[in-house]
A and B are shown apart, each in its own frame.
Chain A
């Protein structure tokens, strides 16, 4: 990026110099013509004038090209005073505090560019959602300085998602394996049958945990690349009833009441098993993160074209900064708590893929301490696309937008 800009800027400055030289020549030529009145130079003068006019157009083209770039380009004199900003850089000169801080960083880097051929700095803002900018400067041959500003918020998120995924995957797999190894190791040489029994049962638990993670990973991969060959109309009320029936035992055990507001006769086109699995993950989370005596409401709502399933809980809620990331594989809001709540860390990722496979969206509104509301919106049977395309590029942040919410609880939409 910086190389292209440096080339363009170099070209623009080069053209300006060339144009000045040509203009000077043109003036000289004109003077000469006046001095030597005898010379029949009208043809030559015309040619010079034409040459002088042409670079002006090239200059404009280069400025237009710089303006068309998505990144901000700032050119400064060697003393740091700014001589040019392209359209993207001018757009950063607002009063929004992020713009002000970015502009300030660019200016301070332009001033310090005297000491370094090239500089690069990543500027990240706090707040939810956080934003990231890469600012680079390069000294040009004539002492001038070019700076570029790139909004790398999305890219920075992808980097975090990727590194966290690898770290989390190894953590999730290593923990049960490490546990099994340690337990088995302790069993060697153990003679007390009671101790052996206890160790064995823990090994079984850890093995199940491991197997659940692998199952979920396989499910996720199947959902990600699965086609829509055997899709059929599915009554959403059946899906809700099945999920609630499956979750009822767990809910009773933890003292959580599940209520439903179902709507008969609303159908979507899709894979019944996938839909059950997605909704089960949402309801299971709602039950898991609610305390004794709390309520979970599963409600089906419908408009002419869309149908939505809303899962509302009164649980611990999710902090705004995590809203963007909870749909990532293995992302944990609270790693310490994940040991007690169990689960593979893949639930919401499965929900997201299932919903986007079905041409729908999933969004969350949540506030810490107040509870969460997850809403899945799907097209009704009549409006379902005939061949839904499986989602590509899992965990791509492009699918996640945080919309400004009127309330202070922020809302995250994950859409196709």
Chain B
């Protein structure tokens, strides 16, 4: 007997659960990458680099399933927004896992070099903050919580502040001749990776908000442009 076709809503729920699982793997990858960086764990770096292939495969699977539902079920309104959001969220998740891999690769490049305690402390804090942002983003997705999703952007400003503080600390440590230039540059790049992970978490939050309420961050820019069009004001005055 042919297998009974799964109901549309079961498929949607399964898809959502796959996204939550993909999110969990990405959240776990952040502290793992930080451990690799701070303890110079080359074996851990290899493990994370390899497990990224699995994350890519899973992201691909989520996208395939989403296309299938879009094509076969022709969803509308909230469900259409949700499926389109899942496509974008998946790409943010996949990209964040890549950034965790980039942290591991940086850890390989600076292997054996001692990182100043102040910088280590700030790296730990950036990592914790990035992990918390992603946990909030995935929670808001799993629980359809538009309020949490909207708060992630504000939470990210703390990570941005840490990033600036870290760059300043790199200059100070380097000026005290306690760090060579190669290490300083690598650490600045690493800090940028954490900051980017935070930005992807903000993106996920925005996509969740869009799925639930139809709000898009681009609407703000569009409103500003309309305002300028109406008043004839140009964004940049050209001399």
- Per-position binary interface string of chain A over residues 315-327, scored 1 when its CB falls under 8 Å from any chain B CB and 0 otherwise: 0110111000000
Q: How far is the CA of A127 from the CA of B33 in the complex (A)?
A: 10
Partner of B120, one of A97, A104, A369: A369
B24, A319: Cβ atoms under 8 Å?
Answer: no
- Per-position binary interface string of chain B over residues 109-151, scored 1 when its CB falls under 8 Å from any chain A CB and 0 otherwise: 0000000111111101100110100010011001100000000
Is there a chain B Cβ closer than 8 Å to A95's Cβ? yes
B124, A126: Cβ atoms under 8 Å?
Answer: no
B21, A369: Cβ atoms under 8 Å?
Answer: no
* Total number of residue pairs linking A and B with CB closer than 8 Å: 65
Q: How far is the CA of A85 from the CA of B125 in the complex (A)?
A: 37
B138, A95: Cβ atoms under 8 Å?
Answer: yes
> Which size bracket describes the interface of B in this complex?
20 to 34
Q: How far is the CA of A12 from the CA of B135 in the complex (A)?
A: 38
Q: How far is the CA of A128 from the CA of B135 in the complex (A)?
A: 15
Is there a chain B Cβ closer than 8 Å to A101's Cβ? yes
B121, A369: Cβ atoms under 8 Å?
Answer: yes
Q: How far is the CA of A255 from the CA of B27 in the complex (A)?
A: 44
Interface of B is mostly: helix
Q: How far is the CA of A127 from the CA of B122 in the complex (A)?
A: 15
| A95 cross-chain contacts in B, Cβ below 8 A | 20, 138-139, 142-143
Is there a chain A Cβ closer than 8 Å to B61's Cβ? no
Tell me the residues in window 360-377 of chain A with beta carbons closer than 8 Å to chain B beta carbons.
367-370
A100, B21: Cβ atoms under 8 Å?
Answer: yes
B117, A316: Cβ atoms under 8 Å?
Answer: yes
Partner of A368, one of B21, B27, B32, B121: B121
Is there a chain A Cβ closer than 8 Å to B25's Cβ? yes
B24, A408: Cβ atoms under 8 Å?
Answer: no
| A126 cross-chain contacts in B, Cβ below 8 A | 28, 31-32, 34-35
Is there a chain A Cβ closer than 8 Å to B38's Cβ? yes
| B138 cross-chain contacts in A, Cβ below 8 A | 95, 97
| B198 cross-chain contacts in A, Cβ below 8 A | none
Q: How far is the CA of A100 from the CA of B28 in the complex (A)?
A: 11
Question: For residue B125, which residue of chain A has the nearest CB?
Answer: A408
A127, B117: Cβ atoms under 8 Å?
Answer: no
| B205 cross-chain contacts in A, Cβ below 8 A | none
Interface of A is mostly: loop
Is there a chain A Cβ closer than 8 Å to B23's Cβ? yes
Question: For residue A315, which residue of chain B has the nearest CB?
Answer: B117
A368, B24: Cβ atoms under 8 Å?
Answer: no
B118, A370: Cβ atoms under 8 Å?
Answer: yes
Is there a chain B Cβ closer than 8 Å to A125's Cβ? yes
With A95-B142, A97-B27, A126-B28 as given contacts, are A104 and B21 in contact (CB-CB < 8 Å)?
yes
Question: For residue A410, which residue of chain B has the nearest CB?
Answer: B128
B117, A97: Cβ atoms under 8 Å?
Answer: no
Interface core residue of A98, A104, A368 (most chain B CB under 10 Å): A368
| A100 cross-chain contacts in B, Cβ below 8 A | 20-21, 23-24
Question: For residue B169, which residue of chain A has the nearest CB?
Answer: A369
B21 shortest CB reach to chain A, Å: 6
A125, B28: Cβ atoms under 8 Å?
Answer: yes
Partner of B121, one of A98, A104, A319: A319
Q: How far is the CA of A333 from the CA of B28 in the complex (A)?
A: 24
A104, B24: Cβ atoms under 8 Å?
Answer: yes
Question: For residue A407, which residue of chain B has the nearest CB?
Answer: B125
Q: How far is the CA of A367 from the CA of B24 in the complex (A)?
A: 27
| A98 cross-chain contacts in B, Cβ below 8 A | 24, 28
Q: How far is the CA of A320 from the CA of B131 in the complex (A)?
A: 15
A281 shortest CB reach to chain B, Å: 21
| A321 cross-chain contacts in B, Cβ below 8 A | 35
With A101-B24, A369-B116 as given contacts, are A317 and B121 in contact (CB-CB < 8 Å)?
yes
Tell me the residues in window 56-112 of chain A with beta carbons closer than 8 Å to chain B beta carbons.
95-98, 100-101, 104
With A100-B24, A101-B25, A126-B35 as given contacts, are A368 and B143 in contact (CB-CB < 8 Å)?
no
| A367 cross-chain contacts in B, Cβ below 8 A | 121, 125
Interface core residue of A95, A96, A126 (most chain B CB under 10 Å): A126
With A100-B21, A101-B24, A126-B32 as given contacts, are A369 and B119 in contact (CB-CB < 8 Å)?
yes
A369, B139: Cβ atoms under 8 Å?
Answer: no
B121, A97: Cβ atoms under 8 Å?
Answer: no
Q: How far is the CA of A320 from the CA of B122 in the complex (A)?
A: 11
A101, B28: Cβ atoms under 8 Å?
Answer: yes
A320, B20: Cβ atoms under 8 Å?
Answer: no
Tell me the residues in window 10-64 of chain B with beta carbons closer than 8 Å to chain A beta carbons.
20-21, 23-25, 27-28, 31-32, 34-35, 38
Partner of B124, one of A96, A104, A319: A319
Q: How far is the CA of A104 from the CA of B125 in the complex (A)?
A: 28
Q: How far is the CA of A95 from the CA of B141 in the complex (A)?
A: 10
Question: For residue B123, which residue of chain A has the nearest CB?
Answer: A368
With A97-B24, A101-B25 as given contacts, are A368 and B120 in contact (CB-CB < 8 Å)?
yes
Question: For residue A127, which residue of chain B has the nearest CB?
Answer: B31
With A95-B138, A95-B143 as given contacts, are A368 and B28 in contact (CB-CB < 8 Å)?
no
B117, A317: Cβ atoms under 8 Å?
Answer: yes
Question: For residue B39, which residue of chain A has the nearest CB?
Answer: A321
| A320 cross-chain contacts in B, Cβ below 8 A | 124, 128
| A408 cross-chain contacts in B, Cβ below 8 A | 125, 128-129
Could you pull out 11 A-B pairs where Cβ atoms are within 8 angstroms? Answer: A100-B21, A100-B24, A125-B28, A126-B31, A126-B34, A126-B35, A128-B124, A367-B125, A368-B118, A369-B121, A408-B129
Top-9 shortest CB links A-B: A369-B118, A368-B121, A100-B24, A127-B31, A97-B24, A126-B31, A95-B142, A97-B27, A369-B117
Q: A368-B124, A369-B120 are in contact. List 9 more A-B contacts (CB 8 A).
A: A95-B139, A97-B24, A97-B28, A126-B35, A367-B121, A368-B117, A368-B120, A408-B125, A408-B129
Residues in chain B within 8 A of chain A (CB atoms): 20-21, 23-25, 27-28, 31-32, 34-35, 38, 116-122, 124-125, 128-129, 131, 135, 138-139, 142-143, 169
